[in-house]
Amino acid sequence: MKRIILTGAQGTGKTTILNLLGGMDKASGGVITVDGENVTSYSKRRLTEYRRRDIGFVFQFYNLIPNLTALENVELMKDIVDININGLEVLDSVGLKDHANQFPAQLSGGEQQRVSIARAVAKQPTMLLCDEPTGNLDFKTSATLLKFLKENKIKHKILGNGSNLLFSDKTYNGVLIRLNEFDKVDFLPRNKIIVGAGYSLMKLSLQASKKGLAGLEFAAGIPGTVGGAIYMNAGAYKSDMGYIVQQVKVLTPDLKVITLSNKEMNFHYRSSFLQSHPGYICLEVVLKLTKGDKDALDEVIKERRKRRMESQPLEFPSAGSVFRNPEGMFAGQLIEEAGLKGKKIGGAMVSDKHANFIVNYDNATSEDIKYVIDYCHDEVLKKYGVELKIEQGLVLSL
């Protein structure tokens, strides 16, 4: 017997999606009966399992990608599976046609759920085959999925929260994988934390400060996952992940799970071993913090949150800081002094609040944003001889 594995955070309509995918008899009390067999929902693991004779599939349900509109989220299914869909018709079927060009952050929770359901409707029952299914999404399951993708030469990319990624206007012709089920966290003695790659970095920072653990408060405003933060060596306020990581559990290109030390991770400014070795995937991290004062840590986080609200264009969609700061300089300052604040191309604009943010102020395309990025890069290079390096990731459609 093989299994379909459907994942998603609480309230993302997993049971509804299973019904919409077809072949279901009824849903009652968390148990769905199909062909005389039960589908049991395990809320603790946020996992739904569906068993059916002679079918072997693995279906990963992904949360909405924040920098894609509702319509783009639905149409993302087109090249993941071999289907032709009309995204507007699918959105119309769940009452969201008028919201097609809005981003997830602009939608209510219920509307976001309906977009998720629309994506599943668009996908229909075409799923990935898994030879050795397991009962949960663990390291072994991930390795099995990656083995299948590699053997069948299917393009794929591992995502964290997608918060610093710029996606092409064209559909990504492959499989996007989020490790959001790797969300276990354990606070251990001696100020240590073991946390999964899919855990929210902001949430972890706040939890640590409430427990009087110092060293992670710099991350209270970084909207990514722990795994993404390790990959980027995310940081702020003269600190970063490299200062607090003790060791990292990774999946190697030959699908073995190994542990790398802090030194082996080779952390530097916005870089790590994982960036220079793209076949390695962060699964779990051990952090080492220090004892601190809860009230003092809370005050620091509140003060920085206020500063962030005042200095960053959080009222517009963006993928965060665009360029890395050159040594001894600030990218935003260079862009501002080059007279580029407020520069617009299409629907993209250099923020007039913080010049190292390029915002989507009017239904910008990815191409619009890329043009603004390139323009800022070229102008700063021409005026100051400084080569700005992009901090955001680009997800291409090729």
List C-alpha distances in Å: 257 to 177, 278, 329.
18, 15, 39
Spatial distance between the Cα atoms of 322 and 316, rounded to a whole number of angstroms: 14
Spatial distance between the Cα atoms of 205 and 215, rounded to a whole number of angstroms: 9
Query: Residue 233: which H helix or E strand, with range?
Result: none
Spatial distance between the Cα atoms of 178 and 8, rounded to a whole number of angstroms: 10
DSSP string, 109-169: HHHHHHHHHHHHHHHTT--B--SS--SS-SHHHHHHHHHHHHHTT--EEEESS-TTEEE-S
Question: What contacts 111, CB < 8 A, 6 or more positions away?
Answer: 70, 96, 99
* Residues with catalytic roles: 270, 321, 391
At residue 262, what is the residue type? N
Query: Residue 206: which H helix or E strand, with range?
Result: helix 201-210
